[in-house]
Copies of this chain bind each other. A is one copy, B any other.
Amino acid sequence: MDKHEIIKLLKSQQINPTRQRVDIAQLLFERPRHLCADQVMNELSDRGLGKASKATVYNTLNLFSEQGLVRELCIDSGKVYYDSNTAEHHHIYNVDTGELWDIEARRCPSEMVPNLPAGTTSVGVDVIYRVKPQNSYK
C-alpha cells in the first residue's frame, strides 16, 4: 500500500493523516502483521521513517483500533498486539517461540454457534490455537 493509499485509508476513517500516523500505518499495512507498540517504535527508527514518541505510538495504535483499522490481540498478558488483518480470521500461537500465524476462520455450522446471553449482541470471536514444539518440555 503506497503513501497515497494510506492517506486515503486514514481519511476514510476520519483520521487526520499526520506524518506520524502515516508512518505507523505504513508499517502496519505493508502486509498483514502483528505488531506491539515497542516493535512499532523500533521499526520506525530502524528504517528511514520518521520517529514518533512512545505516547504518540500508543495514541495512534489506540486510535486505529477504535476506528477499526486494526484489531487488538490479547495473546498473552503483558502486552497488546495490533493485527492489521481485519478480515475474519483465527490464530495459531507458539507458546514457546512467540510465533503467531493467521489462519482462515473456520465457518462453523450454525448449530455450533452458541446462544448469546439475552440482550447482547456479538462484537467478534477470538480463536487462538496454542501450540508448542513437539519436543518441548514446557
Q: Which positions in A face B, CB cutoff 8 Å?
A: 72, 74-80, 90, 92, 94-95, 99, 101, 103, 106, 108-109, 112-114, 116-117, 119-134
Contact = CB atoms under 8 A, between A and B. Distances in A.
Contacts of A132: 120-121, 123
Contact of A75 (B74, B109, B119): B74
Number of identical protomers: 2
B116 A126 contact: no
Nearest to A118: B134
A124 B76 CA distance: 13
Nearest to A114: B103
Contacts of A126: 126-128, 130
